[in-house]
Structure 1
Amino acid sequence: MTEHKHNAESQAGTPETAAEPSAPQASGDGEPARAEADIDPTAALRAEIADLKDRLMRSIAEAENLRKRAEREVRDAGQYAISKFARDILSVGDNMRRALDTVGAEARAAADATFVALLEGVELTERELLNVLERHGVKRIDPKGARFDPNLHQAMFEVPDESVPAGTVVQVVQPGYTIGERCLRPAMVGISRGGPRPAARQDGEPAAGEEATGGRIDRTA
């Protein structure tokens, strides 16, 4: 009877013993809260401010780039809008110059007053046309004696001439024109060959004379 009672008491105490291992879990549940408490809120706020400041600076820089690009496009549109018209009107000036060149000095000296007045009128018209074009940013290129530039000149032929450096413009067949910073029409020229070799360009382009006929870089407006 006594032994049976002892066994019953032992069995009754078993649930309490089995429940004891669950006690440490309570202490483990508090560790995430302590970890969150260890984070410095000031440092987190500073990091967030730095990130927002970086984003703001990037947005400002991007907006500034867009503004400059828009201004450049508007400026170019205004400056180069007349490119096609200006290129077409150049033939008028070319024809006036050809007409004047057909009259030699002797013929002009022997001409009567009426013909001389006509020539002077054509010359005046040509000058006025060039002035109007220049007021709109179109300038004439007369490169005789200059070094050949493939960006502004188109080599039509070569002339043997050892008195000047190779690649020097010795004859202008047709003058060229620029509009703003662009080439509106390249000057058609004849260049020398056989002379001293010019020094290489500082901008990395080949020396004049190395560009054969048709070697012009097309950068027309």
Structure 2
Amino acid sequence: MNNRDTPPQPETAADTPVQPDAAAAPKASTSLDRELAEMKDRLLRTLADMENMRKRTDREVADARVYGISNFARDILGVADNMHRAMQALDDELRANADDAVKSLLDGVELTERELMNVLEKNGVKKLDPMGQKFDPNRHQAMFEMEDASVPSGTVVQVMQAGYTIGERVLRPALVAVSKGGAKAAPAASANDNPTQ
């Protein structure tokens, strides 16, 4: 028999072309949109993490530049203290009566001390001079209190050992004596204390 003589066969499910389900298309689209939104969120979070890491690294590098010499500077401060004590041990009369060789030696020690302080300052190490200032426990270490009614209570009245800062940090607090028994320090004026209002 040839193909023209055969009666048409009924179509089976296997022979029908697959038509996309109209309900499945919006579900696939919604799924793809959700996946795209998740990927965008991940990308934005990754970019934010990278930016934060870059900023943190920049800050750490800057801190290392400023504070990298802290341990060395702290050790050198002992040398500076000893040179200062050596110069303070000689009173003006002893210096005036010294012979030329001793005067030259003293001048050399003074020049060396000044040069050492200049080098420290050039590298970001600054001397604290708290004399007459209000006691600050973040920058000063109180060794004892002194009765002094001429200054407000809590004022630095004597400095036993100078303090130093490096950058914004305290390298070594100043060892100080603090007044007690004087008048209370005046409170700092605030913006709310305006009598014209």
Q: TM-score, with normalisation over the residues of structure 1?
A: 0.67
- Give the partner amino acid of 2:24: E
Query: Aligned partners of 1:38, 1:61: CA distance in 2, in Å?
Result: 33
One-letter amino acid matched to 1:172: V
Which of 179, 183, 194 matches 1:196? Answer: 183
1:106 to 93, 98, 104: 93
1:172 paired to 2:159: yes
Q: Which residue of 2 aligns with 1:129?
A: 116
Separation in structure 2 between the aligned mates of residue 39 and residue 159 of structure 1, nearest angstrom = 83
Q: Does 1:94 align with 2:81?
A: yes
Q: Which has the larger radius of gyration?
A: 1
Gaps of 5+ in 2: 1-20, 190-197
Aligned counterpart, 2:23: 35
C-alpha displacement of 1:57: 2.0
- 1: distance between equivalents of 2:119 and 2:34? 62
> Percent identity between the aligned chains?
59
- Does structure 1 residue 117 correspond to structure 2 residue 112? no
Please show how residues 150-169 of structure 1 align to structure 2 within 5 Å: 150-169=137-156
- CA distance in structure 2 between the aligned counterparts of 1:201 and 1:58, rounded to whole angstroms: 45
Distance in 1 of aligned mates of 2:161 and 2:68: 24
| CA distance in structure 2 between the partners assigned to 1:200 and 1:149 by the alignment | 15
- Aligned-partner residue type, residue 132 of structure 1: V
Q: Tell me the residue number matched to 1:216.
A: none
Distance 2:102 2:121 in 1: 29
Looking at structure 1, the residues matched to 187 and 54 of structure 2 have their Cα atoms a distance apart, in angstroms, of 39
- Out of 83, 102, 105, the residue aligned to residue 70 of structure 2 is 83
The one-letter code matched in structure 1 to 2:147 is P
| 1:1-52 per-position Cα deviation (integer Å, ceiling 9, x unaligned) | xxxxxxxxxxxxxxxxxxxxxxxxxxxxxxxx443345594x7665554443
Q: Which has the higher helix share?
A: 1
CA distance in 1, matches of 2:100, 2:179: 41
Q: CA deviation at 1:135?
A: 1.8
Q: How far apart, CA to CA, are the structure 1 residues paired with 2:75 and 2:28?
A: 73
| Aligned residue runs from structure 1 range 206-221, under 5 A | none
**Which shows bigger deviation, 54-63 or 153-162?**
54-63
Alpha-carbon separation, structure 1, partners of 2:171 and 2:153: 26
**Matched residue pairs, number?**
169
How far the C-alpha of 1:163 sits from its partner, in A, is: 1.9
Matched, 1:146 2:133: yes
- Rounded Cα–Cα distance in structure 2 between residues aligned with 1:199 and 1:48: 64
